[in-house]
């Protein structure tokens, strides 16, 4: 059988080595299904894994890539048949399980979501973990009663994968969205996604007072650190912010004052270990509520052989939107 092209991380005494490798069938490990990977993508977490900026890779050797979409080619599972189109997001991929940076993936059927009928495998990776996380954030806001008539919703890290998808989703659902970005040259692009206002991230990224003038009914934050602390300090009474990223940092220099005096809520959003019913709901809502006519403007094609180089670039904020990597061309 032909070699299987993959991007593999190996942990050595000298550190983490990331290299393109040709694998054999025996290198794919165990699982009750096998998938022909058609597309994968690059996320902020993939950049962290590749650079070892945070020790995400916990098993060695390991195929990297927290996302993939493809077609089942062999199945010993009652959940899937050969020919089913599936998507993988997280569930330990790139941490303790092989991920999507491979032409073929053998894995557990319990980790896969069957793609909604109208979403192609390429569109699934234009959405990816970032878009799926944005949808999880929207679902949490809705559960806390944040409706479009409550007021402005802030999206931080607006030029990134979570941010761009969150803007598009919220705008289509009728929310008035303000986008925060460090790249003001993207203002026209962010407004084309549905943002009504674009502000510079410097308004939020420095230490601020624990209580500030109210500005936001809710927020989707992928930055953390001072940005998240300032967002909390600026939430309206009963305001809600979802925290799903750490682009600025893992720290949070906040106080209890917004919680005690304005009854605000800080909600964590985890995409890695979200239960399967929630994943299926999120992908169903993405099919219904995401304006997929905008996916082309939200994404670009990244050659597989450029993935390793792109890892540090996404951490440096040099990549806008979603990178789609075709694995079909590797065969």
pLDDT digit string (tens) for the chain, length 331 residues? 688 999 999 999 889 999 999 999 988 989 999 999 999 999 989 999 999 998 999 999 999 999 999 999 999 999 999 999 999 999 999 999 999 999 999 999 999 999 999 999 999 999 999 899 999 999 999 999 999 999 999 999 998 889 999 999 999 999 999 999 999 999 999 999 999 999 999 999 999 999 999 999 999 999 999 999 999 999 999 999 999 999 899 999 999 999 999 999 999 999 999 999 999 999 999 999 998 888 888 889 999 999 999 999 999 888 877 899 999 855 4
Beta strands at 33-42 and 322-326: parallel, antiparallel or unpaired: antiparallel
CB 279 within 8 A of CB 133: no
Task: Write down all domains in the chain, each with its CATH number in brackets.
Answer: 4-115+293-330 (3.90.180.10), 129-268 (3.40.50.720)
Chain-centroid distance of CA 303 in Å reads 19
Cis peptide before 284 (omega within 30 of 0): no
Length, in residues, of the chain = 331
Strands 153-155 and 177-181: parallel
């Amino acid at each position: 059988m032909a070699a299987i092209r993959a991007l593999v991380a190996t942990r050595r005494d000298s550190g983490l080595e990331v290299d393109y490798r040709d694998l054999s069938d025996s290198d794919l490990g165990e699982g009750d299904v096998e998938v022909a990977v058609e597309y994968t993508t690059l996320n902020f977490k993939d950049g962290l894994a590749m650079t070892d900026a945070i020790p995400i890779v916990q098993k060695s050797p390991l195929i990297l890539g927290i996302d993939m979409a493809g077609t089942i080619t062999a199945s010993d599972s009652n959940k899937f048949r050969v020919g089913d189109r599936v998507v993988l997001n997280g569930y330990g991929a790139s941490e303790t399980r092989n991920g999507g940076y491979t032409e073929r993936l053998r894995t557990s059927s319990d980790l896969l979501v069957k793609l909604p009928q109208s979403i192609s495998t390429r569109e699934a990776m234009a959405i990816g973990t970032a878009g799926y996380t944005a949808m999880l954030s929207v679902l949490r806001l809705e559960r806390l009663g944040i409706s479009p008539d409550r007021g402005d919703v802030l999206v931080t890290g607006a030029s990134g994968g979570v941010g761009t998808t969150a803007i598009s989703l919220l705008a289509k659902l009728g929310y008035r969205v303000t986008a925060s970005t460090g790249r003001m040259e993207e203002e026209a692009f962010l407004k084309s996604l549905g943002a009504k206002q674009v502000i510079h991230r410097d308004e939020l990224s420095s230490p601020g007072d624990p209580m500030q003038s109210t500005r936001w009914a809710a927020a989707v934050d992928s930055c953390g650190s001072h940005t998240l602390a300032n967002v909390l300090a600026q939430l309206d009474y009963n305001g809600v912010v979802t925290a799903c990223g750490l682009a600025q940092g893992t720290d949070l220099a906040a106080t209890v004052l917004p919680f005690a005096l304005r009854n605000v809520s800080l909600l964590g959003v985890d995409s890695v270990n979200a239960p399967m019913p929630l994943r299926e709901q999120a992908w169903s809502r993405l099919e219904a509520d995401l304006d997929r006519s905008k996916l082309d403007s939200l994404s670009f094609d990244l050659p597989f052989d450029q993935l390793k180089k792109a890892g540090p670039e996404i951490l440096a904020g040099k990549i806008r939107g979603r990178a789609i990597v075709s694995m079909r061309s590797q065969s």
